[in-house]
């Protein structure tokens, strides 16, 4: 999803040659495969958006895969980028890196100041390791090798190319699928995990892509005035959040589902609230431009266009 969005934005610039591989073409968890890729291509900039991702169910069901695969992907790509002379790199982290009960809105300084949300701790630990890899390579090699590896922490992403798997997807694609299923099948009710009370901030993936390109092209004196050396990452959010209940209501209305919405309180809620302070990237000249209601309509259109099967 994220890689495709970055490709859509960069492909409009004629002087940029985009080198891309599908997962089937390049296994980023394989050190040998990643080294071969960098050895065979001349690369100036890397957007490291690849990751194993999923919602609460996936994070709880596959913790080993989430920590192992994400650690391997980022370690292989960042190290081989350095080894083969790539000077500029953007690493995509996640808002889940912050403590479960961090003060809201969450500033970058909150990193490592408290306990993580247990349901997605393996994924969060891997993402923290990735941003610390970038920070560490900069500390050791920025002056001697001229590298500049930056990290952005986006809010919950959604949009074209999302994963609509019935169990392993994030909350927005999961709800789109559930309410579409309920409408098509005439179901009297749709069950949503948790209480509906937690609040989340959502960012359209095309906004996130534009933010990453903006950060990549910022001059060092501007970027590092905001992203200090001991805190080399920067938040990228929409600026406001909604409750899961409000989100479910909006999606059901967009889809046209008329039944009841039931909340299954036996299922985990996750972090109570996760709104990021994006004042640093705003000060650097970027702001989100796609309102949630508009983005949800576009996401549902993408779901219909993709012809996602309801039977899995």
Of 228 and 212, the one with more pLDDT: 212
Q: What CATH number belongs to 2-161+201-240+275-290?
A: 3.40.50.720
When pLDDT is averaged across residues 260-267 and rounded to a whole number, the result is 95
Q: pLDDT category, 309, cuts 50, 70, 90?
A: very low
pLDDT digits (tens, 9 = 90+) for 28-65: 999 999 999 999 999 999 999 999 888 777 788 889 99
Which two structure tokens, joined as six digits, stand for 267? Answer: 């299922």
When pLDDT is averaged across residues 271-292 and rounded to a whole number, the result is 95
**CA pair distance 194, 289, nearest whole angstrom:** 30
What is the structure's pLDDT at 92? 97
Percent of the chain with pLDDT strictly greater than 90: 82
Question: Taking Cα atoms as reference points, which of 155, 254, 163 lies closest to residue 200?
Answer: 155
Q: pLDDT category, 308, cuts 50, 70, 90?
A: low
Question: Taking Cα atoms as reference points, which of 213, 290, 201 lies closest to residue 246?
Answer: 201
Using DSSP bridges, classify how beta strands 233-236 and 273-274 pair: parallel, antiparallel or unpaired. unpaired
Q: pLDDT category, 124, cuts 50, 70, 90?
A: very high
- Which residues carry out catalysis? 123
When pLDDT is averaged across residues 91-99 and rounded to a whole number, the result is 96
């Amino acid at each position: 999803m994220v890689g495709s969005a970055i490709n859509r934005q960069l492909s409009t610039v004629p002087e940029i040659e985009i080198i891309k591989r599908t997962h089937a073409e390049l296994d980023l968890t394989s050190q040998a495969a990643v080294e071969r890729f960098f050895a065979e291509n001349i690369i100036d900039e890397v957007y490291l958006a690849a990751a194993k991702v999923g919602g609460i169910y996936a994070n709880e069901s596959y913790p080993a895969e989430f920590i192992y695969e994400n650690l391997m992907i980022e370690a292989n790509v960042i190290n081989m980028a350095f080894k083969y002379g790539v000077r500029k790199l953007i690493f995509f982290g996640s808002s889940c890196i912050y403590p479960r009960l961090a003060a809201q809105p969450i500033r970058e300084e909150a990193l490592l100041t408290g306990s993580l949300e247990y349901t997605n701790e393996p994924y969060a630990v891997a993402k923290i390791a990735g941003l610390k890899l970038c920070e560490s390579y900069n500390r050791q090699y920025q002056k001697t090798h001229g590298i500049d590896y930056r990290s952005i922490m986006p809010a919950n992403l959604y949009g074209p190319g999302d994963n609509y798997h019935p169990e392993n997807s994030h909350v927005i694609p999961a709800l789109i699928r559930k309410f579409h299923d309920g409408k098509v099948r005439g179901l009297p009710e749709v069950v949503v995990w948790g209480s509906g009370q937690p609040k989340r901030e959502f960012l359209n993936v095309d906004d996130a892509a534009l933010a990453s390109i903006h950060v990549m092209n910022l001059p060092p004196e501007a970027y590092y005035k905001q992203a200090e050396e001991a805190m080399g990452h920067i938040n990228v959010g929409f600026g406001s959040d909604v409750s899961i209940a409000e989100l479910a209501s909006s999606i059901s209305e967009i889809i046209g589902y008329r039944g009841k919405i039931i909340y299954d309180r036996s299922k985990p809620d996750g972090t109570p609230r996760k709104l990021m302070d994006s004042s640093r990237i705003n000060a650097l000249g970027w702001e989100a431009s796609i309102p949630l209601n508009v983005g949800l309509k576009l996401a549902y259109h993408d779901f219909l266009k993709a012809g996602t099967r309801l039977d899995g």
